[in-house]
Structure 1
Amino acid sequence: MFDPFKDFDRAGYLRNLYGEKDPQIVRELEHTLFRTGLDEALAHVAKRRTLGYADFLAVHRILFSAFYPWAGQDRAATVPNIAVSKGNTVFAHPLDARRAVEEGLRIGQDKAALRQHPGEVMGWFAFGHPFLDGNGRTMLIIHSELCHRAGFCIEWQRTRKTEYLAALSAEIASPGQGLLDGYLLSFVGAARERQLWGGAIDGIRGLDGRSIEDAVDGEYTDVRVMQKYQAFEMSRAMSKADRR
């Protein structure tokens, strides 16, 4: 059980407002809230002239504040010394999460760059992994808006969850190699009117959150944890230096 606050028995999963502990109920509630807040979240990003990190936080807050009291707060605020991973993927240090997301936003707001590198943008968002839960759905809304502004969409309903997550993990581990670009570019379609997004996004397979669970590696003050993080970062740096 993912328990970075170390109080699951007393406060439930991630201190949710209902003290709920059952994973299936948690996922169902999260998805219900996502569907409820989707239109408001889409309206928020549509009216923003430029998308910034604050909009990432705002979308998450809109989607999940009825369930998590910390919704809209990133890991730098909630667990600043806790290392989080998923499978073999190590996410950014909490204090670097914002920098990673902002790099994705920088590339993503260059329309020509985004058309060529939609996967690289998503990879930066995913490496940042700013929240304890709800990252994928928040990223999807921001990414969809960026693509719309660049004149295209990713037809997510045609993607396969397992293949996408494998490509995403590879992108995080080896940025600059076009690994997720190669996957997503196969699903590029014409831009759609925003009022059509709600049903399309809600129908994407895998948004129920059922996938490999995040894990707490420990605190960064632990030498073993810091060495693992530094090794992953070094590998990423070498991959970026060898950019295709």
Structure 2
Amino acid sequence: MPVFDPFLDFEENGYLQNRFKEKDPNVIRELEHTMFRAGLDDALEYLSKRDEIAYSDFLEVHRILFSEIYPWAGKDRNELVPDKAISKAGVKFCHPMEIQLSIDYGLRLGQDKEYLRANPGEVMGLFAYGHPFLDGNGRTMLLIHTELCHRAGFSIEWEKTTKFEYLTALSKEIEKPRDKSLNAYLSQFISSSRSRDSWGGSIKSIKGLDGVGETNNVDGDYSDEQVSREYSAYKLERDRVE
């Protein structure tokens, strides 16, 4: 499988320009997860102090979690690689220029407490479709979503979910949000609100957070007619209402 190299400098700067210039993605995955666990409490504390969560907070949480490994942590795709079309396992993410629109919409819905209680999957799906970062999206999204659920008076028992079933539902949510696949999946795991003191241990116990076996792909440049046409068709199908 080709290495994910959106910066086109893998040989010189390693995988995703990591601070160690390490080229083995598996080593970087281990370092990422170590940094995530180390920064988890700081990120959760940061979120707890925000009166309202905005796109800038999304970026800051990512910076807190991953700045020790990536110098670009806290910067989105639109700033880093605005011309690159990114996908994962055949699932395409939004155009870099639309990232903040998708995240902002998810945050607006997610801060409507009644709406979030009824549609936790839709909110997560908007975060996932936005896919702001070149790596670390899932863990960043999870913390933001957990905070929003807490403010709405409930929690999701993520430790009871399975990685395969969750990612399958999430992929369907991104591709056809009208089907509300992720709402249906997460509805099985909705529980009462939990004390903040328990979050760290609960999140660290979730299986599959280390990102092992996952990788993004560069489908090409948006300036390429074929790439642009494929993404336009994908977005049209995603936005279609039946």
TM-score > 0.5, shorter chain as reference: yes
Q: What is the one-letter code of the residue matched to 1:206? A: G
Offset at residue 23 of structure 1 (A): 1.7
Which residue of 158, 164, 167 maps to 2:166?
164
Offset at residue 211 of structure 1 (A): 3.3
Offset at residue 191 of structure 1 (A): 0.7
Structure 2 runs not aligned, ≥5 long: none
Offset at residue 140 of structure 1 (A): 0.2
Q: Give a deviation string over 1:23-57, Cα, whole Å, max 9, x none.
A: 22101100000000000000011010100000000
The aligned counterpart of 1:140 is 142
- Counterparts of 2:62 and 2:214 in 1: how far apart (Å)? 20
Q: What is the one-letter code of the residue matched to 1:187? A: F
The aligned counterpart of 1:85 is 87
Offset at residue 178 of structure 1 (A): 1.4
The aligned counterpart of 1:33 is 35
- Counterparts of 1:226 and 1:159 in 2: how far apart (Å)? 35
- Counterparts of 2:180 and 2:25 in 1: how far apart (Å)? 34
Which residue of 6, 13, 17 maps to 1:15?
17
Q: What is the one-letter code of the residue matched to 2:130? A: G
Offset at residue 177 of structure 1 (A): 2.0
Which residue of 157, 172, 175 maps to 1:173?
175
% identical equivalent positions: 55
- Counterparts of 2:200 and 2:58 in 1: how far apart (Å)? 18
The aligned counterpart of 1:221 is 223
- Counterparts of 2:177 and 2:161 in 1: how far apart (Å)? 21
The aligned counterpart of 2:101 is 99
TM (norm. structure 1) is 0.97
- Counterparts of 1:231 and 1:46 in 2: how far apart (Å)? 40
The aligned counterpart of 2:235 is 233
Q: Secondary structure at the match of 1:85?
A: strand
TM (norm. structure 2) is 0.98
Structure 1 runs of 4+ off > 4 angstroms?
A: none
Q: What is the one-letter code of the residue matched to 1:34? A: F
Cα root mean square deviation, aligned? 0.7
The aligned counterpart of 2:120 is 118
When the two structures are aligned, how many residues end up with a matched partner?
240
- Counterparts of 1:135 and 1:215 in 2: how far apart (Å)? 14
- Counterparts of 2:171 and 2:137 in 1: how far apart (Å)? 14
Q: What is the one-letter code of the residue matched to 2:227? A: V
Q: What is the one-letter code of the residue matched to 1:72? A: G
Structure 1 runs not aligned, ≥5 long: none
- Counterparts of 1:162 and 1:202 in 2: how far apart (Å)? 18
**Aligned counterparts, 1:182-197, within 5 A:** 182-197=184-199
